[in-house]
Amino acid sequence: MIKKIPLEHVLFLDIETVPQKPGFPDLDETTQLLWEQKSSYQRKDEISAEDFYERAGIWAEFGKIICISVGFFALKGSQRTFRVTSFHGEELQILKQFKDLLLSHFSQAKHLLCAHNGKEFDFPYIARRMVINGMELPYKLDLFGKKPWEVPHLDTMELWKFGDYKHYTSLKLLAHVLGIPSPKEDMDGSMVKDVFYIEKDLDRIVNYCELDVVTTAQVFLRLRNEELLGDREIKKV
């Protein structure tokens, strides 16, 4: 079925997130208590809420978005390009720019959003942060009242599950088993917090985020049994 979806109708995306504050002591007392309660079901007894705060960026209530990278196909006859761009900086600005892109270029019924594990992470995270920042949700992220088949979201991890709902496969593993050349990444998700707060190297994070968008698009192509993108077809704009 996914072969019937025109490639140019899909917006591929990935987000990078970090905890709201550099460290647990930087939080006010109420937020510290709420974090302790929220994280209690995941951390073991010997791990304190402060030590576990390294992972706070995973939760939209305690984290924030520092980069949204997107990619989309442009087709001209037999020529194919994949254009990648990123929104980064202050979170409110990132969200406004991303929303503007959706409204101006990907707002029609035919348009779909695609991310790896997007239904569990990227899409709800962006929506929650928009609400927290006082923004009205764009149609593509407002799922209230929509039937499952009306939700305009694709998820490469869900597509790979083939109905096996308990199965989890990372983007890196999926790319490997599908024979997709691994991009030369100099970091992984666990490093984003320190690269942002300690090294203050946002460009490095943006590059990492964009590579994941390209890899997600490559996985989508492989799931359609289509030729992978070559380096010359990938354009950063």
Tokens of 56: 């706070």
pLDDT of 187:
82
Q: Which residue has the higher pLDDT, 18 or 46?
A: 18
Cα(65)–Cα(49) distance, rounded to whole angstroms?
Answer: 22
Cα three-residue angle 92-27-39, rounded to 5 degrees = 95
pLDDT of 190:
86
pTM: 0.95
pLDDT of 96:
98
pLDDT of 122:
98
Number of H helices, E strands in the chain: 8, 6
Average pLDDT rounded to a whole number, residues 161-186: 86
Among the residue ranges 1-5, 49-53, 129-133, 185-189, the one predicted with the least confidence is: 185-189
Is 70 exceeded by the pLDDT of residue 222? yes
Q: Which residue has the higher pLDDT, 179 or 145?
A: 179
Calculate what percentage of the chain has a pLDDT beyond 90: 84
Is 90 exceeded by the pLDDT of residue 186? no
pLDDT of 181:
83
pLDDT, tens digit, 9 for 90 and up, residues 86-97 = 999 999 999 999
pLDDT of 64:
98
- Spell out the residues 6+ positions from residue 95 whose beta carbon is closer than 8 angstroms to its own: 65, 68, 126, 129, 130, 133, 135
Is 80 exceeded by the pLDDT of residue 184? no
Query: Within a 10 A sphere around the Cβ of 81, how many other Cβ atoms?
Result: 15
